[in-house]
Chains A and B, each alone.
Chain A
């Protein structure tokens, strides 16, 4: 009997190979970011036709700024979805964080850094509590966090007390950061180029190591094309945003969080364990993964990111009030994660789902606002888009099963 393991992907090198691999993946139901990118193009086309202001640099800058807070919350949702769990209370937790920030900074006159840290630490505690309830008592996360949705909304109102609404001083660095901090144009360009260069460098390094180990590796040509496209897109975005105010510091912070989460998920043992638990808890447990720790860390991270989102939202609004984190915050964050491609069934999706999803959600919201349609229509449209995203998720799952791709 001859050795029958083959490097089947080795024959498909180069650009043609890349395209055919992508096509094969799509046909197998491994859609990746394709539906959301197509959807986004569709949404942008429609709104641009209805109102030419939509794709103006000014509006897109606003869009990026709106994305940061919800996107950060959504990033946490992506993490819990990867485990096949859910956190319905991120809105309340973000509202609670806003309230803690405002009360401790304005009323108790704590240093701002301390107030921010307290708000985020509160989020961490909430997440650890969820995690403990989940691993100790096996209460479904759906129920725990539904209770948290109500409970922490109550806590938020209690923290705010009689004040109802607390304004953050405009001259504090937090508000300045959220409202007026934009990268100088040169820095934004530099950042774009540096990102593409880092991407190229890490892939060249990997390709070299793989080639040295006699494994199939990406050709330098492919890496050059990929990072070239990446650099071109990033530079185009930066150039366009720079036509008005530029790239917001808060948006960059969100992007940094997304990239950090992506690296943690794809390059560390912890990330591998997250995907494993999402794929099969029992298999993960038998492989010696401390499943309880994974649940605890993920719930804690999710609530911390929700709290961070609450702080950013309060900073952007320069106020925290009883409706902080209420209304559509919760569902927008969850919808963004699902629309971005994080599977509700667990074990599938990347950190970039939060970025793509939140851009879709905020595009709809911004476009409908520009059309002077009120929130009733916004809610309905967002609902429809969410259902579409879930249908795509379910259908691609079925196609994958049929094509045997998992």
Chain B
């Protein structure tokens, strides 16, 4: 696939969201949120329940349009009005429920809605061949691409769902809680898969509650709290404790916010939220990422093992 071609030249910015706001009735789900993804980068989006992770992702996926803010994709300002727009742009989302058809086999699920045809008939041979190729490339552990999806384990189903999102060769892949409800070995399998996505040059947005998983695969970690940015960290420079402090509000975002002028006065504006975010800001200062385009990661194709906390998830798989 072609996406891998460009990331040798350095990390190209794929997606930038600036000043995103979204409210549902009186509830402000997101206020002035900034977010960006480079290609070949795994960005973890973390935060407590109700922090706005899902809303942000749904805006990207075209489920909700934002109320304010700009979205810039591949250097062009875009409107993402519906899921089809997102897909056309090259933003693929794997929702938590996976949305697979249990009664159909892996090939059918992968190509569902985008089946290849010859003279109006399904081109099963071509679809199956490309499915095998993709599964091999992802080093996916699937017994056969012709078994119904119901016969697969949770990790394998997640693999199929992620593989399906790659069919249109998207530039950004959003994974919503891909490791929730998975066992240890299966989680390792999925984390391996995420690294493979990075190697292929996709920008990956990972939503997770599991700090161990986040620390294991993410290059950069974006913390949301009560609908606002509450810090952006390089995974190499941050500890789980600090992240949890940022998520829970033990560390507030002062001094750690990136790039959005005028954000600070807006902080206390949300009624009822100001009190909560006024938690003690006495925690040790974390290194702020001031220039997000140059992360401290080595290029993923250089073969250098990144210097960052890492679960030994490679060991559980063959």
Contact = CB atoms under 8 A, between A and B. Distances in A.
Given A4-B141, A209-B125, A287-B113, A268 B120 contact: yes
B139 A3 contact: yes
Contacts of B113: 273, 276, 284, 287-289
Contacts of A215: 125, 128-129, 132
B143 A404 contact: no
A406 B318 contact: no
Contacts of B109: 283
Interface in A232-291: 267-269, 272-273, 275-276, 278-280, 282-284, 286-289
B274 interface: no
A266 B155 CA distance: 29
Given A215-B128, A283-B112, A275 B101 contact: yes
A8 B143 contact: yes
Contacts of B317: 1
A383 B280 CA distance: 73
A214 interface: yes
A83 to B, nearest CB: 12
A347 B122 contact: no
Contacts of A27: none
Given A1-B314, A215-B128, A283 B100 contact: yes
A347 B99 CA distance: 15
B84 A288 contact: yes
A5 B142 contact: yes
A269 B143 CA distance: 25
Nearest to A3: B136
Interface string A205-219: 010011001110000
A140 to B, nearest CB: 21
B117 A287 contact: no
A316 interface: no
Task: Kindly state the interface size class of chain B when it binds its partner.
Answer: 35 or more
A5 B128 CA distance: 13
B101 to A, nearest CB: 4
Nearest to B114: A288
Contacts of B83: 286
Given A1-B192, A267-B121, A284 B132 contact: no
Contacts of B97: 282
A5 B140 contact: yes
A406 B114 contact: no
Contacts of B147: 405
B263 interface: no
Interface string B114-137: 110100111011101100100110
Nearest to B140: A5
B311 interface: no
Nearest to B122: A267
A8 B151 CA distance: 14
A269 B117 contact: yes
A404 B145 CA distance: 15
B125 A276 contact: no
Contacts of A214: 129
Contacts of B186: none
Contacts of B139: 1-4
B74 interface: no
Most chain B beta-carbon neighbours within 10 Å: one of A7, A283, A289:
A283
A1 B146 CA distance: 23
B149 to A, nearest CB: 7
B148 interface: yes
Interface in B46-73: none
A348 interface: yes
B108 interface: yes
Interface residues of A, number: 40
B210 interface: no
Contact of A272 (B108, B192, B314): B108
A58 interface: no
B16 to A, nearest CB: 26
B125 A279 contact: no
B135 A5 contact: yes
Given A8-B144, A288-B84, A283 B101 contact: yes
A226 interface: no
A278 B143 CA distance: 25
B112 A287 contact: yes
A279 to B, nearest CB: 4
Interface in A10-31: none
A406 B150 contact: yes
Contact of A283 (B99, B117, B120, B150): B99
B87 interface: yes
Interface string B13-46: 0000000000000000000000000000000000
A279 B104 contact: yes
B150 A400 contact: yes
A214 B147 CA distance: 18
A9 to B, nearest CB: 6
A162 interface: no
B103 interface: yes
A206 B97 CA distance: 35
A1 B188 CA distance: 13
Given A215-B129, A287-B99, A347-B103, 14 more contacts: A2-B318, A4-B141, A4-B318, A5-B135, A5-B136, A9-B144, A213-B125, A215-B128, A272-B115, A276-B104, A276-B112, A286-B95, A287-B112, A400-B150
13 contacts: A1-B318, A5-B141, A6-B144, A268-B121, A268-B122, A272-B104, A276-B101, A276-B108, A279-B104, A280-B100, A282-B99, A283-B100, A284-B101
